[in-house]
Amino acid sequence: MSRLIPPALLACATLMTACAGRAPILPTAPRIQMPQAARTPCALYRLPTAPTTADLEVGYATRGAQIVACDAARALAVQTHEAEHDLEDRITKAAKPAR
């Protein structure tokens, strides 16, 4: 019986090291392209050096519209980022073996 113990231990150690050395292969998630509107920096209206009342009125309306457009681009970037992470989570969850 004692002659069987060393080969059994060797076989057990070989099997454990063979499994432990392999990293699980997970599929890579597809990348979602960030929309160009989200990449473009926001432009804000600046008053001229000697503004008139008309310049102030135009600036007020223009800047408000630019802030709304910039916020929409930011929201689009956030949605794209979240969609990419949701897609990654779905793919990695599907690739994990059930226990």
Using CA atoms, how far apart are residues 38 and 75, in angstroms rounded to an integer? 8
**According to the model, what pLDDT value does residue 21 have?**
60
Place of tokens 């980022």: 81
Per-10-residue mean pLDDT, the chain, length 99: 75 68 66 80 89 93 93 90 86 69
Contact 55, 48 (CB under 8 A): yes
Residues 6+ apart with CB under 8 A from 28: 91
Nearest alpha-carbon partner for 37 in 70, 1, 85: 70
For the chain, give the number of residues: 99
Nearest alpha-carbon partner for 24 in 97, 98, 99: 97
